[in-house]
Amino acid sequence: MAQGPLHLPVSFPIFSVTLFLPLQIVPMIVMKFGGTSNRDAASMSNVLRIVSAHLSHRPVVVISAIAQATNELEKSARAASAGDVAGATAFVDRLMERHNDILTHLLSDPDRIAGLRVVLEAHRKELVNLIQGVGILKELTAKTMDAFCSHGERLSSRIVAAGLQEAGVESVWIDAKDFMLTDDNFGRALPLMKTVVEKVEQVLRPPLEKGIVPVTQGFIGVTRSGAYTTMGRESSDFSASIIGAAMNAQRVQIWTDVDGILTADPRVICDVRKIKRMSYEEAFELSYFGAKVLHPNTMLPLLEKNIPVEIRNSRKEGGTGTVVDLPAPSADALPMVTSIACKEDMTVFAISPRTRLNQYLFWEGILSVLNRAGCAAGSISTSEYSMALAIDGNADIEGLRLQLEEHGRVTVVPGQGSICIVGKGLRGSSGVLDRIFAALNDAKVTMISFGASGLNVTVVLAAADVETALRRLHGEFFGDHGASDAFETPIN
């Protein structure tokens, strides 16, 4: 007797759906490779080797654009909107030449190379048409920018699929538009998960069950009308986790250029440690507050299904990486602090009402301004009426000031940065604030908050003090007296 579908309720903070998955599911994994793993022919050859070594795990491969490709496409779009059609076209030509160089040095089959060059030329013509249209109108919409940026992942994934085929691996290139349906919030689109799950089963599952490796793109999706969307910068990790959740993967692997999630930014701290294992919540907090290894939304589709995420170094395949999954069963096994993230470009807004009639209406007005601007506060502090917000410096600071002034008196404090100390062992630990304040005793602190999640303490301070404060805090919590089996030294 045939079995019906298994109904798995899944609730994400950004959307809530019910997934309909078959009871008999072939075990599989999702392998996502970032732009630094695809930057040139040698790097892409390494990707082919890693995928080939994992064929027994039945991978679905998710590819980012080659390093800097999205930046180049954005520059081309902006040059076109400024009327510089020649400059915009030059950006595209250089990008096409990089892809041509990769396929020339990666592949040896003349017919396969010739076929990909036809693909490159088709993408070039499509981009030139976009450039000419934007150049005439002198207008660049979010929808058009997404159309520009979609080309990076589509090109790199084509080359990876062809490379796998030439290496003797049965693979098929699949356009994300065939399954990754999103809303039409261009530049920050969100997947329409119920439809995505259905389409993933229709598009990705059949080749996988035949032993064929599907190769697709991260970062991009498509609206119901067929327009390409993007889901935010660095969101290929999010794409991989969406696919992993939809296919009930055993795990999702994020292959990048670092050994895993580290205790701090290695560009600032020379003696960082690699975190062996951390919780979904800790990883989310770190990514939200400045750590670049994972996109903040990556954990959301996987959390309730407990699908682990592995962060691995594509240049050091023998490393153990970092595993993100459910927390250790005993709080006693947790270090007080897992990692420290920082940002150096922030602005603080302090707002107080002109009349003190209803504090809740005042707070509602402030938060509605942020919502309309699509701007999230890195940290919020409130008193009975006043509110202080720490906002990323890439926001429209002047526009926010003008809108906030409609709700009260506004003081703007530029030149700020933030440090976020993250750890499941923070809540209930004695002496943690004493140690933080001792490390920051001469820093110019503007705000401090103990996050509602209990997982972080966030300090906003003068941007000039961030690096010094980060070094002191890292020494305090990860020095010799802070040694723990939860960490190991990264591979040199």
Residue intervals in the chain for CATH 3.30.2130.10: 339-488
Angle (nearest 5°) at CA 205 between 241 and 153: 50
3-state SS, residue 411: strand
Residue with more model confidence, 361 or 71: 71
Q: Class of 17-255 per CATH?
A: alpha beta
CA atoms of 306 and 298, how far apart (whole Å): 13
Q: Are strands 456-462 and 445-450 parallel, antiparallel or unpaired?
A: antiparallel
Tokens of 159: 């080359």
CA atoms of 78 and 151, how far apart (whole Å): 16
pTM for this one?
A: 0.85
CA atoms of 137 and 125, how far apart (whole Å): 19
Tell me, what's the pLDDT at 271? 87
Which whole-number Å values give the CA distances from 103 to 49, 214, 222, 397, in the listed order? 16, 19, 27, 43
Which residue has 């934007």 as its token pair?
134
Residue intervals in the chain for CATH 3.40.1160.10: 17-255
* H or E stretch covering 385: none
Q: Is-contact 447 459, C-beta < 8 A?
A: yes
* pLDDT tens-place string over residues 407-421: 999 999 999 999 999
Which residue has 């510089």 as its token pair?
84
Q: For residue 15, count CB atoms less than 10 angstroms from its CB and return exposed for 0-12, middle for 13-18, buried for 19 or more.
A: middle
Which residue has 């959307």 as its token pair?
15
Tell me, what's the pLDDT at 25? 58
* pLDDT tens-place string over residues 438-460: 999 888 899 888 867 778 899 99
Q: Is-contact 252 241, C-beta < 8 A?
A: yes
* pLDDT tens-place string over residues 73-125: 999 999 999 999 999 999 999 999 999 999 999 999 999 999 999 999 999 99
In sequence order, the β-bridge partners of residue 420 are: 341, 458
CATH code 3.40.50.20 for 339-488: no
Tokens of 319: 């490393």
Tell me, what's the pLDDT at 208? 94
